Copies of this chain bind each other. A is one copy, B any other.
Amino acid sequence: MIVVLETGTSEKQVEEIIRVLHDHGFDVHRSTGVQHTVLGAIGVHPEFDHRQIELLDGVSEVVRVTEPFKIASRAFKREGSVFDIGGVKIGGPEVIVIAGPCSVETEEQVFTIAKHVKDSGAKILRGGAFKPRTSPYSFQGLGEQGLKLLRAAADENHLKVITEVMDKSQIDLIEKYADILQIGARNMQNYTFLKDLGKSSKPVMLKRGLAATIEEWLMSAEYILSGGNEQVILCERGIRTFETATRNTMDISAIPVIKKKSHLPIIADPSHGVGIRDKVIPMARASVAAGADGIMIEVHHDPGRALSDGAQSLYPDQFTQMMKEVRLIAQAINRSIA
Contact in complex: B46, A283 (CB < 8 Å): no
Question: Could you tell me the dominant secondary structure of chain A's interface residues?
Answer: mixed
Question: Across the interface, which residues of B come within 8 angstroms of A134, CB to CB?
Answer: 68, 189, 216, 219
**A10 interfacial contact with B, CB 8 Å:** no
User: What would 20 A/B residue contacts be, using CB atoms closer than 8 Å?
Assistant: A34-B42, A36-B42, A36-B65, A38-B40, A52-B310, A61-B65, A68-B135, A166-B191, A169-B192, A186-B190, A214-B243, A243-B254, A246-B257, A253-B282, A256-B283, A257-B279, A282-B289, A285-B289, A285-B329, A328-B331
A215-253 vs B: 1/0 string, CB under 8 Å? 110010011001100000000000111111110011111
Contact in complex: A243, B252 (CB < 8 Å): no
Q: Tell which of A36, A222, A286, A329 has the most Cβ of chain B within 10 Å.
A: A286
Copy total for this chain:
4
Instruction: State the interface size on chain A (CB cutoff 8 A).
Output: 110
Q: Which B residue sits closest to A41, measured CB to CB?
A: B33
**A144 interfacial contact with B, CB 8 Å:** no
**A309 interfacial contact with B, CB 8 Å:** yes
Question: Across the interface, which residues of B come within 8 angstroms of A47, CB to CB?
Answer: 133, 135, 137-139
How far is it, in angstroms, between the C-alpha of A33 and the C-alpha of B138 when the chains are bound?
Answer: 23
Contact in complex: A192, B167 (CB < 8 Å): yes
Question: Across the interface, which residues of B come within 8 angstroms of A36, CB to CB?
Answer: 42, 65-66
Q: Tell which of A189, A244, A277 has the most Cβ of chain B within 10 Å.
A: A189
Q: Which of B20, B61, B260, B291 contacts A304 (CB 8 A)?
A: B20
Contact in complex: B278, A244 (CB < 8 Å): no
Q: Which B residue sits closest to A327, measured CB to CB?
A: B332
List A1-34 residues whose CB lies under 8 Å from chain B.
2, 4, 6-8, 20, 27, 29, 31, 33-34
Contact in complex: B245, A213 (CB < 8 Å): yes
**A120 interfacial contact with B, CB 8 Å:** no
Q: Which of B63, B167, B244 contacts A213 (CB 8 A)?
A: B244
Q: Which B residue sits closest to A131, measured CB to CB?
A: B191
Q: Which of B189, B244, B304 contacts A244 (CB 8 A)?
A: B244
Question: Across the interface, which residues of B come within 8 angstroms of A211, CB to CB?
Answer: 209-211, 240, 242
Contact in complex: B253, A49 (CB < 8 Å): no
Question: Across the interface, which residues of B come within 8 angstroms of A35, CB to CB?
Answer: 42, 44, 66
Contact in complex: A55, B256 (CB < 8 Å): no
Q: Which of B186, B241, B273 contacts A249 (CB 8 A)?
A: B241
Can you add 18 more A-B contacts, CB < 8 Å, to A51-B276, A285-B289, A286-B289?
A4-B65, A33-B40, A36-B42, A36-B66, A38-B40, A55-B276, A166-B192, A167-B167, A169-B192, A187-B190, A213-B245, A214-B245, A239-B249, A243-B251, A245-B261, A285-B290, A286-B290, A325-B333
Question: Across the interface, which residues of B come within 8 angstroms of A85, CB to CB?
Answer: none
**A163 interfacial contact with B, CB 8 Å:** no
**A308 interfacial contact with B, CB 8 Å:** yes
List A282-307 residues whose CB lies under 8 Å from chain B.
282-283, 285-291, 304
A55-90 vs B: 1/0 string, CB under 8 Å? 100000101011010000001000000000000000
Q: Which B residue sits closest to A311, measured CB to CB?
A: B51
